[in-house]
Amino acid sequence: MPLILISGFPSSGKTYRSEQLKEYFAQKIAASEDARISKLKIHHLNDQNLGLDRDVYAAARSEKDARATLSSAIKRDLTANSIVIADSMNYIKGFRYQMFCEAKAQRTPSCVVHIGTPVEKCREMNEKALADGTGGYQTDLFENLVFRYEEPNGMTRWDSPLYTVPYDDETPPLEELWDTLVGGKAKAVKPNSATVLAPATEQNYLYELDKTTSDIVAQISAWQKDHPGESGGEISVAGAEHDIELPANPLGLPQLQRLRRQFITMNRTHSLTKDRIKDLFVDYLNDTFQAA
């Protein structure tokens, strides 16, 4: 069942809003006569109940490990009979994209709830929490996290539907969230095509997977070499439905090879035709470039 990603500046009131959501959803579940809904359980995940200290965000390695911990917990709890409220900053759009893909693979709806507290108010509440000894982020860490925050954009599919909760609103749009994710407006979610493919049976499939993706990476590298200094660009791949839409910053060969290896790992147990490999790899690259 649904995944709700809470996103906002540090000290913006994310946990307070998450508790409002949890309480309202619990009431709706308890009052429901629908057997499917009455079996639902709510999992509220945040740094505190995952055993993560605020200081993990002070270093790249510990922050990466913290995101991995949250990701693992979401994947563990995201079942047919659960509602997962991921109460964290979720400030990196690439991470939100990964969780969007995870929810889609589980055929469950997802949304992003953006806690729209102005940064000045967040700074004020953070300083008060530090002074009171009740929490808060160290000042330099707070400012760094604010600087790095990538605000959700409802125009992108991984941040949609997007619900923004202004600071002075008493509650989030609770009824709308319930209807969209669980109630009458909830829609069936189709997983990505790569997650529903038959097991590989063709003897030369892995060879084709390796060669096709390698050829596309080589095509990207050759195009960048022929167009030095150009920002972005589109590359047409013969036999693929869509063009590759390059990001503004040039892509190094190690980065491209890393993406190729990730794609191969995801699809090595599937059976695809050569043209289908092209389509999926091009779509994977475009989604990754947009989320970066």
Q: Where residue 271 falls among pLDDT bands split at 50, 70, 90?
A: low
- What's the rounded Cα separation, in Å, for the pair 126 and 145? 12
Q: Output b/e per residue, 185-194; b: 16+ Cβ within 10 A.
A: eeeeeeeeeb
- Residue for token pair 């390698």: 214
- Residue for token pair 């038959």: 198
Q: Is 183 left (phi over 0), alpha (psi -120 to 50) or beta?
A: beta
Q: Where residue 170 falls among pLDDT bands split at 50, 70, 90?
A: very high
Q: Where residue 112 falls among pLDDT bands split at 50, 70, 90?
A: very high
Residue 188 confidence (pLDDT): 66
Any residues with CB less than 8 A from the CB of 232 and at least 6 apart, and which?
Answer: 245, 246, 247, 248
Residues of the chain with CATH 3.40.50.300: 3-181
User: On the CB side of 113, how many CA atoms lie within 13 Å of its CA?
Assistant: 32
Q: Where residue 94 falls among pLDDT bands split at 50, 70, 90?
A: confident
Q: Stretch 78-94: mean pLDDT, rounded?
A: 91
Name the CATH architecture for the domain at 3-181: 3-Layer(aba) Sandwich (3.40)
- What's the rounded Cα separation, in Å, for the pair 143 and 141? 5
pLDDT digits (tens, 9 = 90+) for 216-247: 999 999 999 988 878 788 999 998 888 999 98
pLDDT digits (tens, 9 = 90+) for 19-55: 999 999 999 999 999 998 999 999 999 999 999 998 8
